[in-house]
Amino acid sequence: MKRIQYKGAIVVSLVIIAMVFSGCSQIKAFREKKQAGPGGAAAAPAVPVFAVNTTLAVQGQILDYLALSGDIISGTSVDTYSDAAGKITRVYVAIGDRVSRNDPVAAVDPSKPGMTYQVNIARAPIAGIITALPAQLGMTISQAVPLARIAGGNALEIKLYVAERFISKIALRQPCQITLDAWPGEVFRGSVTEISPVVDTASRTMEVRINVENPGSKLKAGMFSKVRIITEEKSNIVKIPGGAMIQRSGENYVFTVATDPTDPAFRIARRQVITPGILVDGVLEVQQGLTPNQEIIVRGQTLLEDGSRINVIEQVAPLGAAN
């Protein structure tokens, strides 16, 4: 009886094993059928498609510059002095007043105890605007003390200090772009008119003076200004956003957009070696390797290889020709 039960258990085990192997074979066959194409052949692996943003290379101008800052000062400034020492008995002007040459500025009485002298009238040596007035009623002065400072005419200048390492980039008559917080959005013009022949040994800087065009008399002496001295100007060059360029293995290149030769329904990325020029405010000059209006990839390019399929999500507006 025990032998019959033992044989029955063996038979049941064999049946279970057969069923398991049969199920595995059916699952494997189902998977192979699912992976097969309509004709029964195995489907090719899917080709990855990368999402990118593009823009166009443009032809235009690029300006390299030094960014500096300084105060606007009067181009002509003259101090007024008294011919005699004594006490100031009258002040004829105030700061901001416009005076003509020989107009009275202050009266100085040189009299002393027991001696009476004629009052001396200090007069303006030039025509202009009173920008400083040290003279105060009742104070005693000598001939060496200025009574007033007069800014002559409408000529304005900016005094700047250029670091020693940039001296080689500065030259007379270089154009300048000037901006001020007082006039946001406006750009005033000027040029380099004076370069100091020496470098200050303490600060290692060189003094430079910029003349300023002042249309509408908007600019005033004492205003703080930001100045761009244009050190290099290039016209009719090809330029692109600086972030589009990739540097690997000693090469500089960008990815351009082309039609997939194997399937015109798709677009691919083409690796294009370029020769970069100057980079200013994120705008890169391309000396060789690109032509105007070529479509280049500006975002998503770091994961690409030559021939990668792409999907252009957005075409960014090209750089302005004035950048």
Question: What per-residue confidence (pLDDT) applies to 57?
Answer: 94
Can you list the alpha helix ranges (DSSP code H) found in the chain?
Answer: 2-35
* Length of the chain measured in residues: 323
Within-domain flag for 123: yes
CATH number at residue 132: 2.40.50.100
Within-domain flag for 187: yes
- The yes-or-no verdict on residue 69 having pLDDT over 50 is yes
Within-domain flag for 11: no
Contact partners, residue 133, CB within 8 Å, separation at least 6? 91, 93, 94, 95, 147, 148, 149
Strand partners, 58: 239
Within-domain flag for 295: yes
Asked if 159 contacts 70 with a C-beta cutoff of 8 angstroms, the reply is yes
Asked if 234 contacts 279 with a C-beta cutoff of 8 angstroms, the reply is no
Residues 197 and 220 in one domain: yes
- For residue 222, what pLDDT band results from cuts at 50, 70 and 90? confident
Question: What per-residue confidence (pLDDT) applies to 321?
Answer: 45
Could you tell me the residue range of the domain that residue 291 belongs to? 49-61+235-315
Residues 239 and 284 in one domain: yes
Within-domain flag for 208: yes
Query: What DSSP string describes 33-59?
Result: HHHB-TTSSBPPPPPPEEEEEEEE-EE
Within-domain flag for 37: no
Asked if 150 contacts 103 with a C-beta cutoff of 8 angstroms, the reply is no
Residues 167 and 135 in one domain: no
pLDDT in tens, 2-58: 444 545 555 445 545 545 445 445 545 545 555 555 554 555 567 889 999 999 999
CATH number at residue 217: 2.40.30.170
Q: Give the residue among 240, 312, 292, 301 at the shortest CA–CA distance from 270.
A: 301
- Compute CA distances 41 → 38, 48, 118, 237, whole Å: 7, 21, 121, 54
Classify residue 84 by its DSSP letter. Answer: S
Residues 228 and 175 in one domain: yes
Residues 229 and 258 in one domain: no
**pTM greater than 0.85:** no
End-to-end CA distance of the chain: 101
Residues 133 and 178 in one domain: no
How many structural domains does the chain have? 3
Residues 228 and 255 in one domain: no
CATH number at residue 307: 2.40.420.20
Within-domain flag for 119: yes
Token pair belonging to 77: 């400034």
Within-domain flag for 44: no
**Domain boundary at 234, 265, 297, which?**
234
Question: What per-residue confidence (pLDDT) applies to 27?
Answer: 46
